Structure 1
Amino acid sequence: MAQTLPGAFDQQGVNIPIQGTPNTTLQPGAAGQGAAQDQGDAQSGQGGSDEGGSGAQAAPGTRARAFGQAAPGAEAALQGVEQRRPAFVFEPNASLQGTFTDNAFLTQNSRKSDWITTPSGGIDVTGKTERSQINGTYSVSGDFYAADSQLNGYRQNLLTVDKFDVVKDAFSVELRGSIDQEDIAQTGQLAATERSGLGNQTQVANATITPKYVNKFGNWAVGTLSYSLNRVAYFNGGNNATPNNLSNSTQQNIAAELASGSIFTQLTWRLGLSDAISRGNDTHLNQQTAEIDSEYRINSMFRVPATVGYDNFAENQSAFSSSSLSGVFWSTGLHLVPGPRTELTLRYGRRYDKPYENGTLTYKILPNMTLTATYDVVVQTQQQSLASSLQGVVVDANGNFVNPIGGLPAAPNQTGNNLVNAVYRARNFQFGVSGSHGLNFFSLNGLFETRDFGGVIGSDRTQGINGTLGRNLSPLTTVTFIGQLEHTIDTGTLQNIGSNVNLLTGLDLDHKLSERTDLAFDVTRRHQYGTTRSDEDAFVIRLSHKF
């Protein structure tokens, strides 16, 4: 569900560390489709380094859904003998959930209550060898209503990030995939918990394969050639209505890059060529880009970045003029590194026939508390945005899927705004911070995005903030408060028209009955007002077990 806190209701972002030594971090793919070309610069330092990096760590205190953890005492081995572990670990899991809702049909009046029984089964696969690293989780859930069986349905959840080094340090192939259930229109009816049988939702399948070749020219330069093929598909997951105007789409991105080697310390540079293509039934976009990016290091604190390039929109099925979007672009600004805990980049220039701004901030408040923020302007399709989000998922040192902004559990198909078929110019600001102190933990994330669809189609704007505040009552019991406030204004896109405010609050109590068995209780309330008016209170009890 869009903007529902990842992990708050056992939806996505499950943690799957590999047994034994922690994983090394898988960084986002080099060919993030549809993103602005210097987006990679804006995200530099977010991969987990101690100097300015976000750490990409999972939100402290989130419920321990760590599949594949070694049992107590399993690390004890004979002195001087290294304990062996399997290269791949397959771990099935199952859960049984009961949900009471006081508004099964999400109506404004004449609310009808119901009881939903949800059995789930899944498997988690983790593995690491000399030339491969696999992290994946899949589950399928069925919702059975006691009184309104016509709402019965099922849904799937998948998240995987896999990397294979075909030729070590030279040629690799990366596979990424995500499937989950998402809301279609934020100005439509939204449920308090994830469940089937509602019209304003669809299953989203998002998959990418990226072969990449890297060649080092001594200490002088590093060359990279990559090709990324992505497919985004919307489908009926089982009694979930999918409007006909949501079309499947294929994204391709071919990129060649030559970057400065280690011999360059004061002046670094990068030459890049890319061809990003997005083709769906109703929307085509083809953006070809050439750019030169450089950064001059004045001293250890001050650096000056500069970028110049050319965009050519060879195909543009939208309300925008290709001639206006195409042309020379440039940006420059300031890159500040005042210390090992702080890194700030601010850029200003012109691109897509408009002023262009870009910025990123990483501030390590404490060793276990990091603030990250990004702002960018980009022209892309909805499907390219989903593909880029999937490319941005990282696997941290503990094997958790996380979002580099805020380090919270990753949910790449969540958009926070309406799902549409269109090319748009987006201005996007995101921030995230999470941390812990003693037995307490918290997280806070924000999204502010405006999308302009050009011409007479209109625009939409989403402003949202969500957070968690929790405490470990004991080594086995955790309580978490969840809050989310979102405001969406749609002035006439292809999806819906209206203005809605959504307020979600919840309280979660999680208790470990054993090392592999959890019992959880959730109380959740969603209040909607504006174009759509609906209230729902839900109570959830869930028993889960890892085999």
Structure 2
Amino acid sequence: MARGDRHRIRRLAAVLAALLTMGGKAVAQEALAEEPVALEQGGEQTPTVARAFKPFPTSSVLGAPRLQRPDTPPPTAEAPPPPFQLRLGVAAEEKATDNAHAASGGGKSDLITTITPSVGARYKTRALDLDLAYELGFDRYAVNRDLDGVRHNGLGVLDAALIERVLFLASRFSVTEQAINPTGPATADGQTTPGNRTRVATFSVTPRFEQRFGSWMVGQLSYRHDEVRYDMSGDSRTSADAAAALNGLGLGGVNDSRTDSAKVELRSGEAFSRLLWDYSAQASRQSQGGQILKQDTHDVGVEYRLDDAVGLLGEIGHDSIRGDRIDSAALSGVFYSVGLHWTPSPDTDLRVGVGRRNGDQTLYVLGEHKFSPMTVLRVSSKAGITTDAMAAIEALSAVQRDPNGVYVDPFSGRSANPGASLFTRSNAVYRQIVHSAVLSHANARDTLSAILSLAKQTIVGGLTPSRSGLPATGQGTISTTLSLGLEWTRQISPLTALTLNASKDDVIASNAPGGKSQRYRAGVSLNYQMNPQLNAYASYRFVDWRPEIGTRARENMLMVGIKKRF
């Protein structure tokens, strides 16, 4: 080896060591994995740094469905929009229900008037993209005035290049009304009931420093601060059935959460074509309800491309998980996985693998297949140790904007709802395995989507006593949920559309008393576009809730409404 080559290798090793030293005590936790920002420059998406390579990355790398209908004309050249845009709107609804309190065995009929003003703003330049959307719903009941209230729904995204290609800032914010128990009592129109309601506000800010080392390597150093806040002011009206179920698990309350983390990443540059590699290290500290959860992880991932269609995947690392009421020895230690990456055509991308992490065998699946430009199938299977707060922040970070400017979940393509939870909310730390499949189809007149999700949660620690003062008894609780949702829209005419939907949410297995439940939903809606800024609709909604304890609640609801954009 030439003397000059040895000198360059020593310099590269010195730079690598210096960058790793900046990370301090290193660790990574996949539930907090961050999607590096892609800023738009000159009208085109110019990624500042691609997502650090992972053999089994999060589902957001697949992107949201981008279905082009065959009768849609190609876009015409238009003048670029102004940097600042303001969006105003208002909606008015009148609803008739036969069970206002979602009570078992029948309830009181009522009329509900709902007014929902909305505001949105976007400021976009070459180095800054700020988008805010917020709406506030006012519900007024004609008879049951104790149910009057307001609903908040907002999302904010900020991406900025403070120093071009070097220093970046990303921030996210959301506020939504969510169910304490997602399979508990809820109204036919999809709103949460007073006894099963919490307001979830999430906030995240991430400064990020990036450094390229020629075509050999890209380095990234980031710090992240996350907060999740809950407003359970409606908890005082919790029904006896819901309260019994929550207290039986020791989950009668949930506290605000704060998480700080630091992360250093290195990945292969353009000089690597067959062997792709990534090293990440992250340290995180979460505080919730007076309890502390610390996670430290080192992670190395590789992919060796055998040819254009097949790649071999491998990952190895070490977790250190410490916290109150947690068996650190069982959850910490070396983890590994091996798998296969198959890309036989531009329409198919599939990663499958097996491994062991956090003391349990794990199956990894992530894939997408386009049967046609209008039909897309996605599958995903992932597992990890997380909390409600970490899951909410992960979902918020993954939110993407679709071609119409609507923020969507990148896996399902449906409207983003980062505060949603698959299980009853708590302060628990749990091992969660989620298997998901999404089928989306769109043509000139029909749009169809089907979503299937099977999830298993095992609480491993971190619980605090419930609000009733009972001791925490939920540790070791195992629950399995099954969710299925179908939605079909038919464009009857250029101005009229018909939508049918149905869903089932079922806790199919639980070792906790009263842990099982079922909920069925169905609806039909007719939408009429009166003009580009005004549309009217009429809907029918039905819900049937069946908890294990033997009670049953049904609700039928008729709705008429009008929406105006200014």
TM-score tier (shorter): 0.7 to 0.9
How does 1:178-189 map onto structure 2 within 5 Å?
A: 178-189=174-185
**Cα shift at 1:348:** 1.0
* Equivalent position amino acid for 1:527 in 2: D
Change (3 A) 1:466 1:251: same
Aligned to 2:560: 541
Please give the alpha-carbon distance, in whole angstroms, between the structure 1 residues aligned to 2:49 and 2:142.
Answer: 44
1:294 aligns with 2:302: yes
Change (3 A) 1:265 1:26: closer
Aligned to 1:114: 110
The question of whether the paired residues in 1 share the 8 Å contact of 2:60 and 2:410 is answered with no
Greater Cα offset, 481-490 or 471-480 = 481-490
- The equivalent position to 2:217 in structure 1, one of 202, 217, 221, is 221
- The equivalent position to 2:522 in structure 1, one of 495, 505, 509, is 505
**Cα shift at 1:45:** 4.3
1:346 aligns with 2:365: no
Change (3 A) 1:285 1:60: farther
Please give the alpha-carbon distance, in whole angstroms, between the structure 1 residues aligned to 2:47 and 2:507.
Answer: 34
How does 1:321-340 map onto structure 2 within 5 Å?
A: 321-340=327-346
Aligned to 1:432: 438
Change (3 A) 1:433 1:114: same
Aligned to 1:41: 57
Give the gaps of 5 or more residues in structure 1. 1-20, 32-36, 48-54, 62-73, 77-81
The question of whether the paired residues in 1 share the 8 Å contact of 2:55 and 2:314 is answered with no
Change (3 A) 1:141 1:395: same
- The equivalent position to 1:158 in structure 2, one of 147, 154, 160, is 154
Please give the alpha-carbon distance, in whole angstroms, between the structure 2 residues aligned to 1:385 and 1:238.
Answer: 23
1:410 aligns with 2:416: yes
Aligned to 2:324: 317
Aligned to 1:8: none
How does 1:263-278 map onto structure 2 within 5 Å?
A: 263-278=271-286
Please give the alpha-carbon distance, in whole angstroms, between the structure 2 residues aligned to 1:423 and 1:517.
Answer: 46
Other structure's SS at 1:397 match: coil
1:397 aligns with 2:400: no
* Equivalent position amino acid for 2:441 in 1: G
The question of whether the paired residues in 2 share the 8 Å contact of 1:26 and 1:394 is answered with no
**Cα shift at 1:543:** 0.9
Please give the alpha-carbon distance, in whole angstroms, between the structure 2 residues aligned to 1:83 and 1:214.
Answer: 33
**Cα shift at 1:25:** 9.6
Aligned to 1:57: 66
Aligned to 1:70: none
- The equivalent position to 2:92 in structure 1, one of 91, 96, 106, is 96
The question of whether the paired residues in 1 share the 8 Å contact of 2:93 and 2:113 is answered with yes
Please give the alpha-carbon distance, in whole angstroms, between the structure 2 residues aligned to 1:175 and 1:521.
Answer: 38
**Cα shift at 1:537:** 0.5
* Equivalent position amino acid for 1:466 in 2: G
**Cα shift at 1:457:** 3.5
The question of whether the paired residues in 2 share the 8 Å contact of 1:58 and 1:407 is answered with no
* Equivalent position amino acid for 1:57 in 2: R
Instruction: From the two aligned structures, give the one with the greater helix fraction.
Output: 2
Other structure's SS at 1:390 match: helix
1:139 aligns with 2:135: yes
Greater Cα offset, 111-120 or 248-257 = 248-257
1:451 aligns with 2:466: no
- The equivalent position to 2:226 in structure 1, one of 226, 230, 235, is 230
> Over residues 319-371 of structure 1, what are the superposed CA-to-partner deviations in whole Å (9 max), with x where a residue is unaligned?
x4101111111111111111110011111111111112211011112113221
**Cα shift at 1:284:** 2.8
* Equivalent position amino acid for 2:338 in 1: T
**Cα shift at 1:539:** 1.0
* Equivalent position amino acid for 1:249 in 2: S
The percentage of counterpart residues that share the same residue type is 25
Aligned to 2:311: 303
1:253 aligns with 2:270: no
Greater Cα offset, 482-491 or 303-312 = 482-491
Aligned to 1:16: none
Change (3 A) 1:60 1:246: farther
- The equivalent position to 2:379 in structure 1, one of 358, 373, 377, is 373
Please give the alpha-carbon distance, in whole angstroms, between the structure 2 residues aligned to 1:474 and 1:26.
Answer: 40
Aligned to 1:128: 124
**Cα shift at 1:122:** 1.4
Please give the alpha-carbon distance, in whole angstroms, between the structure 1 residues aligned to 2:230 and 2:176.
Answer: 10
The question of whether the paired residues in 2 share the 8 Å contact of 1:407 and 1:433 is answered with no
Please give the alpha-carbon distance, in whole angstroms, between the structure 2 residues aligned to 1:364 and 1:397.
Answer: 18
The question of whether the paired residues in 1 share the 8 Å contact of 2:281 and 2:297 is answered with yes
How large is the RMSD of aligned CA atoms in angstroms? 2.8
Please give the alpha-carbon distance, in whole angstroms, between the structure 2 residues aligned to 1:484 and 1:110.
Answer: 22
Give the gaps of 5 or more residues in structure 2. 1-41, 239-250, 462-474
Please give the alpha-carbon distance, in whole angstroms, between the structure 2 residues aligned to 1:241 and 1:545.
Answer: 34
Please give the alpha-carbon distance, in whole angstroms, between the structure 2 residues aligned to 1:94 and 1:42.
Answer: 36
Other structure's SS at 1:453 match: strand
Please give the alpha-carbon distance, in whole angstroms, between the structure 2 residues aligned to 1:503 and 1:473.
Answer: 27
Other structure's SS at 1:406 match: coil
> Over residues 121-163 of structure 1, what are the superposed CA-to-partner deviations in whole Å (9 max), with x where a residue is unaligned?
1101123210111232101111100001111111100012221
Q: Which of structures 1 and 2 has the larger relative contact order (alpha carbons within 8 angstroms, sep 6+)?
A: 1
